[in-house]
Chains A and B, each alone.
Chain A
Amino acid sequence: MRVGVITFPGTLDDVDAQRAVRYADGEAVPLWHADRDLQNVDAVIVPGGFSYGDYLRAGAIARFAPVMQEVVEAAHKGMPVLGICNGFQVLAEAHLLPGALTRNHELHFVCRDQWLRVENNTTAWTTRYDRDAEILVPLKSGEGSYQADADTLKQLEDENRIVFRYVGENPNGSLNDIAGISNARGNVVGLMPHPEHAIDALTGPTDDGLGMFLSLLDLVVNA
C-alpha cells in the first residue's frame, strides 16, 4: 500500500503522518505541493500545519496548489483521502468536504488530549473502530470551529456523515460537536484532531489513532 503524504510550505505534521503510515505497514510516499504527479499512490493524507502561513484563510491558498488539483480529481474517482487539522481545512476549501472551519469560539488556541466518539465506522478510514467507541487523541488548533448552514448540517446528520464528535465540553464551538466528517461516498474524511500523533503510547497519549491508518490498510488489502 502506497500512501502519499503532501508537504506544503508551512506543513508541520507530514513526518508524523508518514510515520503513522509505516506503523500500519504501509509505504509512505512524500508528495510535494508543486508536483502534479501523485506517483501511483493508493491513498493521500493532507497533514496538519500552517500551509502557506494560513494567509487569507486556512487552506485557501493550498487548495490551488498543483498537487491538490490531482487530489481533487482522484478523490472524485474514489481514492481514499484523509485531511487532518490544516488538511481538513484544505479539503473544505477545495470543496471535497462541505462547510468551513473558523476561529475557535473563545479565540484560544486549544492544545490538549481530546476524547472523540466514533460515530461512523463505515468510511475508508474508520472501519477498525467499533461504532460509538471513544478514542483519545491530541487536538491542537486555533481555527477548528466547524460551521455550515442548517441544510448542510441536516444532510450530514441524515446521511450519517459525521464521523467523529467531541466528547464532553465542546473545545472550539463546532456546530453539533463535530470533530470530523466525510463526503457522501465515505472515501474522503477530514478531522481537526490528530490521530497521527496517537499511534504509540511511547510518543502520544494512546495508540487510539492508529486505527485510522489500519482501516485504510484493510481497505486496500481487501480491494
Chain B
Amino acid sequence: MARVVVDVMPKPEILDPQGQAVANALPRLGFDGVTAVRQGKHFELEVADDVDDATLAKIAETFLANPVIEDWTVRRVEA
C-alpha cells in the first residue's frame, strides 16, 4: 500500500470567498500580517501498489478536482 496526497486549490483567477472570509477574520482575532488566504481541499488516499501515476492523475482530474475552477497536485508520501 502507498499513501497518496491530492491537494486541490481554487484557480488563482477564481474568486475564493471562503479564503477571503478567513483572511478578513484574522485581524479581528488579533492576528496581523496575513495578507491573503486561499482555501482548498486535501485528500489522503491509501492505494494499492499497482495503481500507477496515470490512474492517480485521472482520479484527481476527473473527480477530486473540477479543472474548470480548480488546480490539483498528486504526490506519493511515506505512509
Contacts and interface: CB of A to CB of B under 8 A. Distances in A.
B64 interface: yes
A60 interface: yes
Given A106-B17, A147-B14, A57 B66 contact: yes
Interface of B: 10, 13-15, 17-18, 21, 63-64, 66, 68-69
A103 B68 contact: no
A56 B17 contact: no
24 contacts: A56-B63, A57-B66, A60-B66, A64-B63, A92-B68, A93-B66, A98-B68, A99-B68, A100-B66, A102-B14, A104-B17, A105-B15, A106-B17, A107-B17, A107-B18, A147-B14, A147-B15, A147-B68, A147-B69, A148-B68, A149-B13, A149-B68, A173-B15, A173-B17
A145 interface: yes
Contacts of B17: 103-107, 173
Given A107-B21, A147-B69, A102 B64 contact: no
A60 B43 CA distance: 15
Interface string A54-96: 0011001000100000000000000000000000000011000
A102 B69 contact: yes
A103 B18 contact: yes
Contact of B15 (A60, A99, A102): A102
A2 B13 CA distance: 43
Contacts of B14: 102, 147
Nearest to A92: B68
A60 B68 CA distance: 13
A107 B14 CA distance: 15
A25 B9 CA distance: 46
A94 to B, nearest CB: 11
Contacts of B18: 103, 107
B67 to A, nearest CB: 9
A100 B65 CA distance: 12
A103 B18 CA distance: 8
Contacts of A92: 68
